[in-house]
Amino acid sequence: MKILNPEEIKAADQATIALHEASYLDLMEHAGTRCFNWLDSLLQGNPLKIHVFCGVGNNGGDGLVMARHLINRGYNVSCYIVNFSDKRTPEFLENYNRLKDEGNWPLVIKHEQDFPELLDGEVVIDAIFGIGLNKTPKGFTKKLIQHINSVDAFRFSVDIPSGLFAEKSVTDPEAVVKASYVITFETPKLAFFLAENEPYVMDFEIIGIGLDDAFIDDLPSKQFFILKDDVIPMYKPRKRFSHKGSFGHSLIIGGSFGKMGAVNFAVNGALKIGSGLVTAYIPKCGYSILQMAIPEAMVEIDAEEKIEFFNPKTNATVIGIGIGMGTDKKTIKGFGKFLKQTTVPMVIDADALNCLALAPSLLKEIPAHSVLTPHPKELERLLGKTSSDFEQLEKAIAFSEKYDVVIVLKGAYSKIIYKDQLYVNSSGNPALATGGSGDVLTGMITGLIAQGYTSIDAAVFAVYLHGSTADLAIEDMVMESFTASTIVDFIGEAMKDILTPDSKEELEKELMDEFEAEFGEDLFDDLEDDEFDDDDDF
């Protein structure tokens, strides 16, 4: 699913109107009605007091449509016009007049003394500002937002919380509605996925409002929200005569005294995701541990308690490196020499990232199309401090372009960045916040690259499956008991979950198309036309 910016959404509005002989008023009626239907299904006629705050633009028009439907359904509604400007859109005015024509006159708020009393437990609908907002609310409008936030109400925002910018950081935290729930139109907004905006978007849902799908599909967007349907086509089914060599050789380099568990998780991640062969290159102290824990893996050793020499003999397809490795001076020196000698793509995690931060001259030695998997603090060590999540994304994009690498920024809504492309993951939950979780992910990405997935596809696919393990596991357990071992146990379930009956049929058709392209479309027809005698000797 694409993440559209305000300009793209505006273009989709205009295209829909032109292609379908619709109007902005039609789109507004549809959007407001969809929001009403959602809230009505939640409230089920509950006589709670509902306050609807409408701006004077099209977002306010959506709110007026909601108010009209709520009143007509018999809800206890008070509607207010937040008069922050003398400019009104024609669609807003039309819906304002429709409400008045039905005998419902909204109260106009011009000053702080016009604010209505709000009580805990009531419902507040926020339709003051939309995605076109480009400056921070001030004056009585800011005070109204503070008034809305001051009570323990259910705050429902239409499309985006008022005061939140779609594509830049908040400058005044006191001037943004803290929405309990957001119904957003057609596509999510990038702002919803940034940790700094968590107070303003407790939860959200995406609804369609009838914008032209073909036009949206053709938009050259660079930002995507990764859903299950997006990863199904990435899956590479195995062919009948495949063998272990068909699925690559993953080399996992890491570990130090007391930190062999990290390598264990990464190796298991690579194996469970389907790497044909996996070798672990570790300190000598971990040899017996790994051989006993994972008999499927091969093992090479380095120095006694840490990795110093980096001289594996394995002819690897891809290398996952850094987990539990440490940042000893000898380790950094050996890692630097190894980088200069290696051309296969790497998945660089944990202490390998910290080594790069301590020796930034090594960055230029990273093989092209490698994948870096930092958490926010590790990314900060590489990029330097930033003032906001938006700035960090901009710096990460520039870093990816400079070094031709994929960046997986781990966390809630993990983000995968390759040059100017941004992929935001939809799967997962806080259960993944457990030691070893990232180590498993490193192994999963490594194992997919070994099998022939491109670096960007491997990163997107692995991140989605990694998150899906937590979504599946907590159906039968609590988040607190979820561990990295649970991720390993559920990788197969996560893979099976994307292979629904429909997706299996699609994959079978794809394989059949490939077969016919190679051997000819009439091969099966020829077979059907052949006549075989029951007595023929085969």
Residue carrying the six token digits 């109260």: 107
Rounded to two decimals, the pTM is 0.91
Q: Average pLDDT of the chain?
A: 94
Structure tokens at 135: 């400056």
Structure tokens at 318: 């891809």
Residue carrying the six token digits 């996992």: 252
292 CB burial (10 A radius; 0-12, 13-18, 19+): exposed
What's the mean pLDDT in 183-195?
97
pLDDT at 534: 43
> Residue 194 in contact with residue 390, Cβ under 8 Å?
yes
Q: Give CATH for domain 6-219.
A: 3.40.50.10260
pLDDT at 527: 47
> 535 falls in which pLDDT band (50, 70, 90)?
very low
Cα angle 321, 273, 502; round to 5: 145
The model's pLDDT over 394-442, given as tens digits with 9 standing for 90+, comes to 999 999 999 999 999 999 999 999 999 999 999 999 999 999 999 999 9
The model's pLDDT over 249-281, given as tens digits with 9 standing for 90+, comes to 999 999 999 999 999 999 999 999 999 999 999
pLDDT at 131: 96
Query: In sequence order, what E strands does 264-412 have?
Result: 277-282, 298-301, 318-321, 346-348, 371-372, 406-409
The model's pLDDT over 274-313, given as tens digits with 9 standing for 90+, comes to 999 999 999 999 999 999 999 999 999 999 999 999 999 9
- Which percentage of the chain shows pLDDT scores above 70? 93
Lowest average pLDDT, out of 84-88, 153-157, 178-182, 380-384, goes to 84-88
Measured distance CA(186)–CA(58) in Å, rounded:
16
Q: Could you tell me the residue ranges of all domains in the chain?
A: 6-219, 231-235+245-512
Write out the DSSP string of 122-166. Answer: -EEEEES--TT--S---HHHHHHHHHHHTS--EEEEESS-TT--S
Measured distance CA(137)–CA(59) in Å, rounded:
15
Domain 231-235+245-512 has CATH 3.30.300.30: no
Tell me if residue 482 falls in helix, strand or coil. coil
Q: Please tell me which residue, 67 or 514, carries the higher pLDDT value.
A: 67
The model's pLDDT over 160-173, given as tens digits with 9 standing for 90+, comes to 999 999 999 999 99
